[in-house]
Structure 1
Amino acid sequence: MHDFLTKTRFSGNPLSILNQFLDEEKTKELVSSTDNWKFAGYVIDIGFNTVRIITSDPYKKAIGGMPRGSFLIMVPEDLEGIAPHFSLLRVSGVAPTPLTNSVQQTYFELHKKSMPELDRWTVSELQWGSIDCDLLGMFYPNPDDAKKIEFSGDINAVVSAHRYRVFAPDERILNIIINGMVKSELNQSIGKLRLTECRLPFNNAKSNLEDVSVQISLKDFLGARTAMFGKTRLGKSNVVKIIANATIEALASQSEYKCGQLIFDINGEYANTNHQNISLREMHSEHCQVYALIQKDETPSKPLRLNFYTDPSEGMRVLGSLLQAEGNLSGYVKSFANLELPTFELCNNMGFGEKIRAYRKIQLFWSILNQSAFQANEGELKALIPFVANGPNGFDPGFTDDVRFKVYSFIDAESGTSDGVPARPKTLSQMKREYASIAKYVLNSKDPLLSTSGQKNELFDGDDVVMLTFLNPNTGRGTQWITDYKKYHSPDAQNLIKQIIDDLNGSKTVILDLGSADDKVRKYFSNMISTAVFQEQERKFTSNSLKSHFVNLFFEEAHNLFPRTVKDNTDVYSRFAKEGAKFHIGMIYSTQSPSTISQELLAQTENFFVGHLSSQDEAKSLGKVNVYYDGVQEDILSSKTPGYMRMLTQSHRFVVPVQVKHFGS
């Protein structure tokens, strides 16, 4: 009666299937139907972390083999009157038995004498073996809700080994093991369970266990950090696409959660369909918005540009990197490519004299851009350089009347004209003309007031002279060197940020197509847009309007953004790692080696997908970062099948081997 009441109480619990499973296995044993028996062996030694079982070849054949990494369940010999529960084991290796030495001696003698056959008593003795297993924890009914399952990373008690029996789970039990603790919200399939890389059926018996679908909850990824590790060409990008695709599909069918996705597509594979894969944009054209540096006819997109005028420091850095990529630079072009310009914030904090020099450097840079036909919003630019007494004012460099008279008198003498001194510049093109005239004067006159010996009372320092030379050289291409880089510029780039933020707030997937771009251009856009996303989510948090709106950012080659040795803990990426969860900012980052990533970020990472690693040091470092990967390093080192991942999410308490489905299939 007590057993009946117990079974009735837990009849609505998924673990009630365990009673049915054990009854079926008992019936098979009674009628000697052992061909499909799930019995795996007996426990001969048990601890709180490991279990050793004894098994036999017929048992292994019946269950389809017992490879390393496979799951077994350990149950008490009698569950009558108690709640259905089982302990989860993972096969870790072969262990010696008490008769190992005797068995090896028998093998030695047999092979030595080349005996063709064994008597059945000897065969019976030799087919027994021992297996070591890791004890991962226990599944049992929730004490507060009889219809729910709980999992603990330990077991409540250890009794004598003979009180336990070990079984291989069938599809029903395995589904509980793999998916029983996954949150039901925003649930999606990511692939199939795959216990081993080897696909050859053991003993020619096909198992249905690997037909078990592996589920994930996208709620585990919202506002969380997710790492993708593994050698190149083994499926990291495919997993990223699967997660991004699953997020779009899961959110489309509900209204509680909102999530914008921002993908930094450094190879153009998420935005553009190629001969190998369909793109995420093509799969979900109504939910995706592409911003491209180089727009393609076959891929609808908006232009991705930066405004070199409004951010002269980064603009000069980007132009310099593009020039350096040309190679074979010499003279003033090489010097120009290595220049650094101040930010407007830095200028505003300078003393009077330094501020004048800094503003003039920026104006000179603007003149170079104007000479190269970079378009500008002049009203916006003019306001960036406020009035400075006897110094720059908008587009007026603020040179004294004496300096301007000398410069334009020299120009008239050189050209044989008598135009005289023009009015002070009021437009960008007039300012460019003034600096071009000064460049000609500096490079061709011998006026000591404008010499380049480095004295503080001189108008221009060495960097200024480099820019003046680049603007109006006596020989060479000058500003024609950067004319081709206009494709990276737009005077409306500030609106770009607003458009992207609006798309993310509308739960769109924004793909930044950075294919074929220079590394520094990529870094510029990554910094600029990441900072804007952080500020927007922080604004929502402080105004109490964050609610259930998340943003997930996808980074490839993450070791460049989150290096192991982080000198600046205040950059936007470090803030993502530390404060992202609070502001509902999630990150999905991928790289080949876990040892190259910031240890602080790894310690904060909740979800992992690990493919093949070829270095023992890398595999060991993974085990140190996350204890759940301790014990599966050998499998990670030996398996090289694309898409074969060892997955761990917030819902899972142990590593799950999964063959991630191919995106688009």
Structure 2
Amino acid sequence: METTVLDIGYDTITIITSDPYKMNVGGIPRNSLLVMVPSDLDSLPLHFILLRVLESAPTPLASEVQQTYFELQKKSMPELDVFTQSELQWGALKTSILGMFYPHPEVVDTIEFSGDLNNFVSAHKYRVYAPNDELLNLIVNCLVPKDNRFEIGSLRLTECRLPLPTKPLPNVKVIISTQDISGRRTAMFGKTRLGKSNVVKLIAQSLIESTKETNTVGQLIFDINGEYANDNPYDNSSSLASSYPDRCIIYAITQKKATPSRPLKLNFYEHPDSTHRIIGSLLRQDGKDSGYIRTFSSIELPSLETIIKMPYSESDIKVRRIRKIQIYWAILRKAGFDVDEAKLRNMAPSTPYVGKFNPGFKDKLREEAYKKIGVQQIPPKPNTLDSLVDELEIINQFRRSKPKDALLKSESSGDPIFDPDDVGLLEFFDPKSGLGPSLIQPYRMYHDKNAGNFEKEILIHLDSGKTVILDLGNAHPQLLQYFSDDLSIAVFNHQVDKFSNDKLGDHFIQLYFEEAHNLFPRKDDEAREIYSRFAKEGAKYHIGMVYSTQSPTTISKDLLAQTENFFVAHISSREEVDALAKLNVAYESMKEDILRAKTPGYIRMLTQSHRFVVSVQANKFIPPNKKIGE
């Protein structure tokens, strides 16, 4: 059934409608799609204009219609005569112009879309129709690349699923192409428990399925809730890992019996700057925050890399910094942290005055310290971790017994050999009272003397097209931050190196971040450099991202500006929805639906290929070897 146009412009069109028209086409909900065509196409190229319904519009007779209803109510008329009913059934709808579909001027059997009109004529020369399923399928899917297609859900024009008796609801599958996802930025917005994670699984699944022959996309998922690595029988939710065991590799901080995984551990010796911060956070979390413990936790240790890069002209400062690292190593050793001493020796910094495990104390100080405990035969300077522990215990005892001894001061500057940070480390290493290193023994579960190789392993897996899932469920925030930062930097540097050597080819790496506002905060000065570089330079180096958050306003402007694909579920804040519409004008007409509709999986999707927002009921993630309902 057709209707006609009341008013026409370049941006909006007002159409005439009636009750029989609405009933015949199954209703016209807000944001539904209509097509407008010239009434006579004989003299014009074949084309149609796509419209989206915005709201009801006043007609020239609106005041008369209202007057009629008012008079009828006053007179308490039980029924309307057929002539009055015929007059009152007419109305109008305001629609926005999404663009034009027409045959591609250069490619046979191909449709092209433009977001504007090249011309329009008088309103009475057009007819408006409600598209059937076949035409809706063309509208929604014809612009999607033919390669690497994946069905993500079904077209759902309204949250209400009650059909009118005259016509069933549309039955149209919605297709995406992984070409729109690989190497691009994809945002998931919406409140929790409304299907964002399910859509992320579908996107990851689409990349696994579309590259199973080529292995051209490696995926790295930072799984902070463990839902991509582990099945959840309580809501009948399968994990990505169990669905594709041959394509997925799990690294877990806390390994689970039901989920095969590899250990995700830290080598606390090799990363003193970050692991010391982690220990401090774990101590505070466990309520261990008394005097000497608090002092130990507040110390900032340098990294081995910064010490190694220090110039010779700063050798005195370098010696002091090396000594801090050595005291920290001694603490770990006393706490029972395993160590590959040969490996550590190869990477440990040194100066002409300080060896790998030699803190570089003057001979006179060593002689007096050992004599103090009755040792006449002074042992060689330390060259193992155990001998370093022994020497530090003896020197610390001397420091306590003679805190103002001249031997504890630098001969050149007269400054104390041990600054406040050194003292804080030594007091934790060998406390007057208290447990000291014994306090951190429980944290050995996060340590592995062979850790560090997992980074190289993961890069190899990504290059071979595997999906690597980091199971960070219940991880301490400091550990989560460490692994996120460290692996993100490794991936970025790896891709930059391949770019520099012309080895990128058609291979991509896709990263998945949840709670993205923690990594890409709104204020640029709070963002860590690596994530800012992902936002600005990732596409150049074939790095794509899928990031999830509840609030668009909490995300970096740089990242939002570079994001190509959007999947938006229910958002309850008008401020957030207004921000989304300002970010991408295509969502302006969808704001009220986003605020009201709360059905899980009901998504407003806009991808690189889709030139307008498509309302989708996302499929539930189903493993390839299962059927819906199993």
Pair in the same fold by TM > 0.5: yes
- Counterpart mapping for 1:522-601 below 5 A: 522-567=480-525, 571-601=529-559
The alignment partner of 1:632 has SS state of: helix
| C-alpha distance in 2 between matches for 1:92 and 1:228 | 25
Task: Determine the structure 1 residue equivalent to 2:268.
Answer: 308
Task: Determine the structure 1 residue equivalent to 2:625.
Answer: none
- Counterpart mapping for 1:30-179 below 5 A: 37=1, 39=2, 41-80=3-42, 82-179=44-141
One-letter code of the match for 1:85?
A: H
Match of 2:286 among 300, 305, 326: 326
The alignment partner of 1:101 has SS state of: helix
Q: Does 1:284 align with 2:244?
A: yes
C-alpha deviation, 1:294, in angstroms: 0.7
C-alpha deviation, 1:344, in angstroms: 2.4
In structure 1, list runs of 5 or more residues that go unmatched.
1-36, 413-417
C-alpha deviation, 1:96, in angstroms: 0.4
Q: TM-score, normalised by structure 2?
A: 0.95
| C-alpha distance in 1 between matches for 2:365 and 2:485 | 41
C-alpha deviation, 1:81, in angstroms: 5.2
CA gap 1:628/1:449 in 2 versus in 1, 3 angstroms: farther
The alignment partner of 1:609 has SS state of: strand
| C-alpha distance in 2 between matches for 1:477 and 1:569 | 38
One-letter code of the match for 1:431?
A: L
In structure 2, list runs of 5 or more residues that go unmatched.
623-627
Task: Determine the structure 1 residue equivalent to 2:317.
Answer: 354
Q: Does 1:616 align with 2:574?
A: yes
C-alpha deviation, 1:129, in angstroms: 0.5
C-alpha deviation, 1:463, in angstroms: 1.0
C-alpha deviation, 1:385, in angstroms: 3.6
Verify the 8 A CA contact 2:355 2:383 in the aligned structure 1: no
The alignment partner of 1:381 has SS state of: helix
C-alpha deviation, 1:617, in angstroms: 0.8
Task: Determine the structure 2 residue equivalent to 1:503.
Answer: 461
| C-alpha distance in 2 between matches for 1:585 and 1:98 | 55
| C-alpha distance in 2 between matches for 1:53 and 1:596 | 40
The alignment partner of 1:493 has SS state of: coil
| C-alpha distance in 1 between matches for 2:445 and 2:269 | 14
Q: Does 1:663 align with 2:625?
A: no
CA gap 1:52/1:517 in 2 versus in 1, 3 angstroms: same
Deviations 1:457-484 (A, max 9, x none): 2110111111111111121111111111
| C-alpha distance in 2 between matches for 1:214 and 1:480 | 58
Q: Does 1:340 align with 2:300?
A: yes
Verify the 8 A CA contact 2:334 2:437 in the aligned structure 1: yes
One-letter code of the match for 2:260?
A: P
One-letter code of the match for 1:539?
A: D
Match of 1:464 among 409, 412, 422: 422
C-alpha deviation, 1:112, in angstroms: 2.2
Task: Determine the structure 1 residue equivalent to 2:478.
Answer: 520
Q: Does 1:429 align with 2:392?
A: no
Higher mean C-alpha displacement, 544-553 vs 491-500 = 491-500
Verify the 8 A CA contact 2:252 2:471 in the aligned structure 1: yes
The alignment partner of 1:630 has SS state of: helix
Verify the 8 A CA contact 1:312 1:362 in the aligned structure 2: yes
CA gap 1:298/1:581 in 2 versus in 1, 3 angstroms: same
| C-alpha distance in 2 between matches for 1:589 and 1:437 | 53
Match of 1:239 among 196, 199, 221: 199
- Counterpart mapping for 1:404-415 below 5 A: 404-412=366-374
One-letter code of the match for 2:245?
A: S
Deviations 1:386-443 (A, max 9, x none): 44233x210111111111112222233xxxxx46422211111111221122233333
Higher mean C-alpha displacement, 538-547 vs 563-572 = 563-572
C-alpha deviation, 1:494, in angstroms: 2.0
C-alpha deviation, 1:380, in angstroms: 2.4
CA gap 1:378/1:633 in 2 versus in 1, 3 angstroms: same
C-alpha deviation, 1:490, in angstroms: 1.6
Aligned residues: 616
One-letter code of the match for 1:493?
A: A
C-alpha deviation, 1:381, in angstroms: 1.9
One-letter code of the match for 2:584?
A: N
Match of 1:267 among 225, 237, 246: 225
Task: Determine the structure 1 residue equivalent to 2:345.
Answer: 382
Deviations 1:480-534 (A, max 9, x none): 1111111211222221111000110110000000111111111110111111111
- Root-mean-square deviation (CA, aligned residues, Å) is 1.7
Match of 2:443 among 455, 473, 485: 485
Match of 1:230 among 187, 190, 194: 190
The alignment partner of 2:277 has SS state of: helix
Higher mean C-alpha displacement, 123-132 vs 473-482 = 473-482
One-letter code of the match for 1:324?
A: R
Task: Determine the structure 2 residue equivalent to 1:207.
Answer: 168
| C-alpha distance in 2 between matches for 1:426 and 1:187 | 61
Q: TM-score, normalised by structure 1?
A: 0.90
CA gap 1:511/1:419 in 2 versus in 1, 3 angstroms: farther
One-letter code of the match for 1:212?
A: V
| C-alpha distance in 2 between matches for 1:449 and 1:173 | 91
Verify the 8 A CA contact 2:292 2:424 in the aligned structure 1: yes
| C-alpha distance in 2 between matches for 1:403 and 1:366 | 22
Higher mean C-alpha displacement, 561-570 vs 486-495 = 561-570
Match of 2:363 among 401, 418, 421: 401
CA gap 1:507/1:575 in 2 versus in 1, 3 angstroms: same
C-alpha deviation, 1:80, in angstroms: 2.4
Task: Determine the structure 2 residue equivalent to 1:16.
Answer: none
One-letter code of the match for 1:357?
A: R
| C-alpha distance in 2 between matches for 1:214 and 1:106 | 45
C-alpha deviation, 1:305, in angstroms: 1.1
| C-alpha distance in 2 between matches for 1:227 and 1:514 | 21
| C-alpha distance in 2 between matches for 1:526 and 1:419 | 52
Verify the 8 A CA contact 2:163 2:169 in the aligned structure 1: no
C-alpha deviation, 1:114, in angstroms: 1.9
Verify the 8 A CA contact 1:442 1:450 in the aligned structure 2: no
One-letter code of the match for 1:126?
A: L
One-letter code of the match for 1:176?
A: L
| C-alpha distance in 2 between matches for 1:383 and 1:441 | 31
One-letter code of the match for 1:201?
A: P
| C-alpha distance in 2 between matches for 1:217 and 1:452 | 69
| C-alpha distance in 1 between matches for 2:204 and 2:272 | 35
| C-alpha distance in 1 between matches for 2:576 and 2:433 | 54
The alignment partner of 1:182 has SS state of: coil
Verify the 8 A CA contact 1:271 1:281 in the aligned structure 2: yes
One-letter code of the match for 2:330?
A: S
C-alpha deviation, 1:447, in angstroms: 4.4
Q: Does 1:368 align with 2:331?
A: yes
The alignment partner of 2:439 has SS state of: helix
